[in-house]
Amino acid sequence: MGRHRKQSPATVKRGSVLALTGLVPTGFVACAAASDLNSGHTAVQEVAEEGGLLGALGAAEVTDDGYVEHAMAAQGVAAKPVVKTVALPTDRAKAELPAGPGGIPGVAVAAYQNAEQLLAAQNPVCNMEWTLLAGIGRVESTHVFGGKADAEGNPLDPVYGPVLDGSLAGNAVIHDSDGGALDGLGGYDRAVGPMQFLPETWTRYAADGNGDGIADPQNLYDAALTAGKYLCDGNLDMRDLSQRSRAILRYNNSMAYVANVMAWANSYGTGVAPKPAELPRI
């Protein structure tokens, strides 16, 4: 189905599994896991305390800077995308774009910067910078395994996390939520795409980053924008260190994870490679 072809897909060997926010009571915490590139680690799904943007807008008044009015207009203009994984031919060529800071594949840089620009219009109070999205992308899938994606940002092979059936030490059991529509798997869920979303979370936050009317978790442009939307949820401001840390913890409830993401984000912004001490084992 979709891009889930019969050959063995690329499996992300490091990355957390996201939590679904806004659909369960505050304080509920569910555990999930994903393995490290070199060794396994446990990820915790932390439910955000804030409601979503639409809920916040419903009770808010227009502020002096016009944010509420702007955000409502943006929400009204954008049509809700179709959530699905698109079937693509297997003989696609790898994108040949100049690498960005720190060797980030050019197609990934384009996707992260595109997400920054769209989020600046859709949620200006978030102050999302592309380097933070790049930090997430580096930790989750090393930017689709070093840029193994076509010019449109589609991985040459679909990216999946480990099956969350409890078979791996530290992994929680997460039963199927999408009938295999996004993760190509029945019975249990697994994280999907370069930014590693659980199907249920993707369905809630899914965004169309490339303007094709589809929100595909495997597509870099869609995944980057959705990751930004997820991090910004609750009107968090990424320029505030504590709020930024809080947002990153939604991805993985680990301060070591936060340290890694911030170290890579800073590296992409300054051009200075992170020091080993800045990259604690997750």
Q: Cα 194 to chain center, whole Å?
A: 7
Number of Cβ within 10 Å of residue 8's Cβ equals: 7
Is the Cα dihedral 55, 57, 59, 65 positive or negative? Answer: positive
Residue 215 lies in a domain: yes
147 occurs within a structural domain: yes
What's the structural domain count of the chain?
A: 1
Per-residue pLDDT band for 78 (boundaries 50, 70, 90) equals low
| pLDDT class of 32 with cuts at 50, 70, 90 | very low
Residue 69 lies in a domain: no
Residue 172, pLDDT score: 80
Q: Give the pairing type, strands 82-83 and 214-215.
A: parallel
Residue 62 lies in a domain: no
Q: Report the SS3 class of residue 160.
A: strand
In contact, 32 and 174? CB cutoff 8 Å? yes
Q: Is residue 174 part of a domain?
A: no
Query: pLDDT at position 40, please?
Result: 31
Helix segments in the chain, DSSP class H: 53-59, 67-77, 106-122, 130-147, 199-205, 220-232, 241-251, 255-270
Backbone angles phi, psi at 98, to 5 degrees: -60, 140
Closest CA to 195 of 257, 237, 114, 251: 251
Does the pLDDT of residue 21 top 50, yes or no?
no
Rounded to the nearest integer, the mean pLDDT of the chain is 79
pTM of the model: 0.74
Residue 147 · residue 94 · CB < 8 Å: yes
Q: Kindly state whether residue 23 falls inside one of the protein's structural domains.
A: no
Whether 65 is covered by a domain: the verdict is: no
pLDDT (0 to 100) of residue 258? 98
Range of the domain at 237: 80-154+199-278
Asked if 176 and 52 count as a contact pair (C-beta separation under 8 A), the reply is no
Condensed to tens digits (0 to 9), the pLDDT of residues 104-143 reads 999 999 999 999 999 999 999 999 999 999 999 999 999 9
Q: Is 199 helix (H, G, I), strand (E, B) or coil?
A: helix
Residue 108 lies in a domain: yes
| Listed residue (211, 199, 202, 198) closest to 117, CA to CA | 211
